[in-house]
Structure 1
Amino acid sequence: MRMDEQPRTTWIERRPTDRPAAQPAYRSRRPDLRLGTYSHRVDRAATDTADRLAVRYTVRTTTAEYTLVLNAPGWFGHKGLGDALRDAVAELRAVDLTYGPSRPESLVSRLRRGEISPESYPPLADLVDRCAAMRAATDGWFDAWAVPGGFDPGGLLGGWAVERAAARLRAAGVHDYAVLTGADLVVRGHAAHGGPWRVAVHHPTDGRRPPLVLEMTAGAVGTSGVSGRHGHVVDPHTGEPADQLAAATVVGPDLAVADAYATALYAAGRAGLSWFRAGSDYRALLADRRR
C-alpha cells in the first residue's frame, strides 16, 4: 500500500425502499463501522477464522477514546498482531503525553512559553508545519495561533495521532485496519469479511435521516461539530464561537488534514466549500447549517 494512495470510496445513501442488488459473497450490506452523533461504533465483532486473525481494542487517553480494529493473515500470528497493536497504542499515548496542549510540560506548552523552538524536535516541527499549511489552505479559517494562550494544534492533533499510530501498524506489517476516535477514522486495506470497509456516516443532528455509506480501502473521515461542547471551535477572525454550521465532515487521504479542513469548514460555514475544487484530494460530505 503506497503512502500516497488516494481514498477509494463509493458514496451510497440507503433509503428504506432500496432493494440491494446481488453482490459477491464478501459484500454484506451491513456497515462495519459507524460514525456520527457523539461517538463511533464497530458493528462487526472482530473474530478469528481459519485463515485470518482479527482483534478489536479500545484505549482512552486524557483527551480522547480510540478504537483499533486489525486483521491479518493467519501466518502473522497472535503475537505479531498483539505486538503491532501495543506499538500503535503506545504511539497514541505518547502523542497525548508529549503534545497535549493542556499538559503544562508538553512540547506544545513549552513552545507556547518560548522555551523551545519547533526545530528542537522533528515531530513538533512537522506538527507546526502542518498547522501552517492548513492555515494557508483554508484562507486562515484554520488558525492554530488565533486561540487564547497561543499555539494550539487541537483541530488536527487527534488526526495526527491516529495517522502516526496507523504508520506504526504498517511498519509492523499490518495493512488491514481501522482506527476510530469520536466521529473520525482512518482505514486501510479490507475488513475481516474480505471486502472494503463499509462506513456508515450518520447525520449528527437528525437521527431520522439514513446514513451515508462509504466503501473504503484507503482514506480518512474527519468531522467537526459533534463533540457536544458549545463553542469548541472559534472563528479565528473574531475570536467568537463559530455558530454557522451544526457539523462539517470531510473525507480524504490523511486524517490530520481532513480534521483541519472540517474544523475550518465548521468555522467558515458553507463559504468554505470553495476549498474543495474538482480534482482535490479532499471533499466535503456534510456542511449542515445550524437550525
Structure 2
Amino acid sequence: MRRVEHIMGMPISLDLRDEGDGQAVFDWLAEADRRFSPFRADSEVCLGADNQDMREIRRLCEEYELRSGGAFRARLPGHAFDPSGIVKGWAVQRAADLLRAQGIRSFCLNAGGDLVAAGRLWSVGIRHPEDAHQVCAVLAVQDRAVATSGAYERGEHVLDGRTGEPARGLLSLTVVADDLTTADAVSTAAFAMGRDGIAWAHAQPGCLVLAVDEHRRVRWSPELEDLIVRDTASGTMPG
C-alpha cells in the first residue's frame, strides 16, 4: 500500500509492505500540525502551552542549541518561539513508532524528503541541491532515518542562531541516524553552522553525513560508503 497526503505544508508518503492502512500515521501528523505549528495562532506553540509534548520539544530545542554552540536556535531575538527545526523530525519519528506499535515492521515514511526506512533495504535518493531532476547519491538504508537540510525548497529559511542571518557555506547536508528526531535536528543545526557543520555533524553519536558545500564539493563520512549505491561526485570527510 502506498498513500500520499499533504500535511505540514508538504507531501507525506507512506509505503507499507505489511498489512495495515497507516491511518494512525496521518491522523497523528495532522494533529501535530495543528498543535505545534508556529504559523497557527491557536497552536500550542503560539499559545505557550505547558504539557508533556511541549516540554519535550522545548528540551530538544535547548539541547541542540547547547550542542551547536547557538547555531541552532528556536527563539531568535525579535522572533517568536519557532521549534520547526525539531518538530517535523520528532513528529514523523513518533508516527513511525506508531506503526511499529501496530506490528508493522516494513515501511518507508517520507515527509518532504526526510524519512524513516524500516524492515528491508530501501533505496533513498539524495537530491542534487541545484537540479531537482538529479541526485548526489543513492543510499541503501534499513532501520534508519535520513534527513536533509538545504535552501533549494524553501529558500534561505535556515538561520544561523549566532548571527540571525541566513546560513552560509553549504548547499545541502544530509544526516543518516537511527531515528529521525536526531537526523533532522543534527542536519538543521549543522546546516546553520556552515562548513564547520560537516565535521560537527560527523562527530555526533550515531550520525553519518553527506554534504555539498558552496563550492560544490561533496564530502561524506567514510562509514557512509557502505550505504552508497551510486554517487555522482567524489569526496571524503575532512580530518
Paired position in structure 2 for 1:219: 144
Aligned with 2:73: secondary structure? coil
- Where 1:284 maps in the other structure, the secondary structure is strand
Q: Which residue of 1 aligns with 2:92?
A: 162
Which blocks of at least 5 consecutive residues in structure 2 are unaligned?
Answer: 217-239
Tell whether the 8 Å contact from 2:149 to 2:174 is kept in structure 1 after alignment.
yes
Give the SS at the match of 1:90.
helix
Q: 1:61 maps to what in 2?
A: 7
Q: Which position in structure 1 is the counterpart of 2:128? A: 203
Contact conserved, 1:166 with 1:179, CA < 8 A, in 2? yes
For the residues of structure 1 that align with 2:214 and 2:94, how far apart are their CA atoms?
32
Q: Which has the higher contact order (CA 8 A, sep 6+)?
A: 1
Question: Cα distance, 1:147 vs. partner?
Answer: 5.8
1:61 alignment partner AA: I
Q: Matched residues in 2 for 1:147 and 1:97: separation?
A: 25
Once the 2 structures are TM-superposed, how far is the Cα of residue 251 of structure 1 from its aligned partner?
Answer: 1.2
Q: 1:148 to 1:257 in 2, by over 3 A?
A: farther
Aligned to 2:184: 259
CA distance in 2, matches of 1:140, 1:201: 27
Mapping 1:110-121, distance limit 5 Å: 110-111=47-48, 116=49, 120-121=50-51
Match in the other structure for 1:39: none
1:44 alignment partner in structure 2: none
The 5-angstrom pairing of residues 234-245 of structure 1 reads 234-245=159-170
2:33 aligned residue: 96
Work out which of the two has the higher radius of gyration on C-alpha atoms and give 1 or 2. 1
Please tell me whether residue 135 in structure 1 is matched to residue 65 in structure 2: yes
Within 5 Å, give how 1:266-285 maps onto structure 2.
Answer: 266-277=191-202, 280-285=205-210
Contact map agreement 1:252 1:281 (CA 8 A) in 2? yes
Q: Which residue of 2 aligns with 1:4?
A: none
User: Is residue 8 of structure 2 the alignment partner of residue 71 of structure 1?
Assistant: no
Tell me if the contact between 2:130 and 2:152 (Cα under 8 Å) persists in the aligned partners.
no
Q: Do the aligned partners of residues 207 and 92 (structure 1) sit closer, same or farther apart at CA in structure 2, a change above 3 Å counting?
A: closer
Q: Unmatched 5+ residue regions in structure 1?
A: 1-54, 191-195
Displacement after TM superposition at 1:283 (Å): 2.1
TM-score, normalised via structure 1 length = 0.68
Displacement after TM superposition at 1:165 (Å): 0.9
More strand per residue: 2
Aligned pair count reads: 216
Distance 1:227 1:97, change over 3 A: farther
Shift of the alpha carbon at 1:277? 4.8
C-alpha distance after superposition, 1:174-203 (max 9, x if no partner)? 01111112221111112xxxxx11212232
Whether 2:165 is the aligned partner of 1:246: answer no
C-alpha distance in structure 1 between counterparts of 2:208 and 2:87, whole Å? 20
Residues 79-127 of structure 1, C-alpha deviations (whole Å, 9 max, x = no match): xx12xx111110010000111111111111011xxxx4xxx31111111
When the two chains are superposed, the root-mean-square deviation of aligned CA atoms in Å is 2.1
Query: In 2 relative to 1, CA 245–278 (structure 1 residues): closer, same or farther, beyond 3 Å?
Result: closer
Amino acid at match of 2:211: L
